[in-house]
Amino acid sequence: MLIVQKYGGTSVANAERIKAVAERVSRTAKHDNKVVVVVSAMAGETDKLIGAAHQVAANPSEREMDLLLSSGERVTSALTAMAIEDLGHKAMALTGRQMGIVTDAVHTKAKIEKITAEKANKALNEGYVIVVAGFQGITESEDVTTLGRGGSDLSAVAIAYALNADLCEIYTDVDGVYTADPRIVPEAKKLDKISYEEMLELASLGSKVLQTRSVEFAMKYNVPVVVRSSFNENPGTLVTKEDEEMEKVVVSGIAHDVNQAKVTVMGVPDKPGIAAKLFKGIAGANIVVDMIVQNISGDGRATDISFTVPKTDGKKTLKLTEDIAKELEAKGVDLREDIAKISVVGVGMRTHSGVAAHMFETLAKHGINILAISTSEIKVSCLIDAKYAELAVRVLHDAFELAKAA
Question: What is the binding site for its own copies (CB under 8 A)?
Answer: 15, 18-19, 22, 49, 52-53, 55-61, 63-65, 67-68, 70-71, 74-75, 77-83, 85-86, 91-93, 95, 97-98, 119, 142-144
**Closest distance between its own copies and the C-beta of residue 16, in Å?**
9
Name 161's Cβ contacts closer than 8 Å, sequence gap at least 6. Answer: 115, 217, 221, 223
Paired residues of 261 in beta bridges: 309
Nearer to its own copies, 55 or 353 (CB): 55
**Closest distance between its own copies and the C-beta of residue 279, in Å?**
31
**Closest distance between its own copies and the C-beta of residue 35, in Å?**
16
Nearer to its own copies, 71 or 362 (CB): 71
End-to-end CA distance of the chain: 29
Beta strands in 298-401 (DSSP E): 302-310, 332-336, 339-345, 372-376, 379-385
**Closest distance between its own copies and the C-beta of residue 37, in Å?**
13
Nearer to its own copies, 73 or 197 (CB): 73
Q: Where are the alpha helices (DSSP H) in 34-181?
A: 45-56, 62-86, 118-125, 151-162
Nearer to its own copies, 87 or 258 (CB): 87
Query: Which of 101, 118, 110, 115 has its CA nearest to residue 151?
Result: 110
The CA R_g of the chain, rounded to the nearest whole Å, is 22
**Closest distance between its own copies and the C-beta of residue 277, in Å?**
32
**Closest distance between its own copies and the C-beta of residue 86, in Å?**
4
Nearer to its own copies, 146 or 303 (CB): 146
Paired residues of 374 in beta bridges: 381
Rounded Cα–Cα distance for residues 403 and 399 (Å):
10
What is the DSSP secondary structure assignment for residue 140, as one 8-state letter? T
Nearer to its own copies, 82 or 403 (CB): 82
Torsion of CA 201, 206, 207, 209, to 10 degrees: 100
CA atoms within 13 A on the CB side of 367: 2
**Closest distance between its own copies and the C-beta of residue 132, in Å?**
12
- Produce one character per residue of 216-248: b if its CB has 16 or more CB atoms within 10 Å, e if not: bbbbeeebbbbbbbbeeeeebbbbbebeeebbe
Rounded Cα–Cα distance for residues 238 and 169 (Å):
9
Nearer to its own copies, 63 or 111 (CB): 63
